[in-house]
Amino acid sequence: MKFRPLHDRVVVRRITAEEKTLGGIIIPDTAKEKPMEGEIIAAGPGARNEQGQVVKLDVKTGDRVLFGKWSGTEVKLDGEELLIMKESDIMGIVEGSAATTAKAA
């Protein structure tokens, strides 16, 4: 199934943090906080301004972003847990590092 967000909404896949500390301690799932970093997998066309013109989004598919801990709405699409949020919930784009997803191999 394909999903296309409307207006200024984006679909984000969380990027999970390292499961082990630098000291080698493994962190169980119950003790982990939800990651606040993700990859944009779909973006809407943009919001309309007061004149009715579409203002394009600053983020695009493939961007690695930081967002608030409680941002967005969690949904399950094609068996994958994703977030749908407004662009304004995104704090910034992480540049200079390739986005790595936490898909089970």
Q: Angle at Cα 52 formed by Cα 8 and Cα 3, nearest 5°?
A: 30
Mean pLDDT of the chain: 80
Task: Give the model confidence (pLDDT) of 78-99 as tens digits.
Answer: 888 999 999 989 998 888 755 4
Average pLDDT over residues 70-80: 88
Task: Give the model confidence (pLDDT) of 21-43 as tens digits.
Answer: 566 666 665 555 666 889 999 99
Whole-angstrom CA distances from 64 to 11, 23, 41, 71, 95 are 12, 27, 10, 15, 7
pTM exceeding 0.75: no
Average pLDDT over residues 54-58: 90
What are the sequence ranges of the domains in the chain?
9-20+27-94
Give me the pLDDT at residue 21, please: 54
For residue 101, what pLDDT band results from cuts at 50, 70 and 90? very low
Q: Which CATH number fits domain 9-20+27-94: 2.30.33.40, 2.40.50.140, 3.20.20.70, 3.30.413.10?
A: 2.30.33.40
Q: Name the DSSP class of 28.
A: P
Give me the pLDDT at residue 22, please: 61
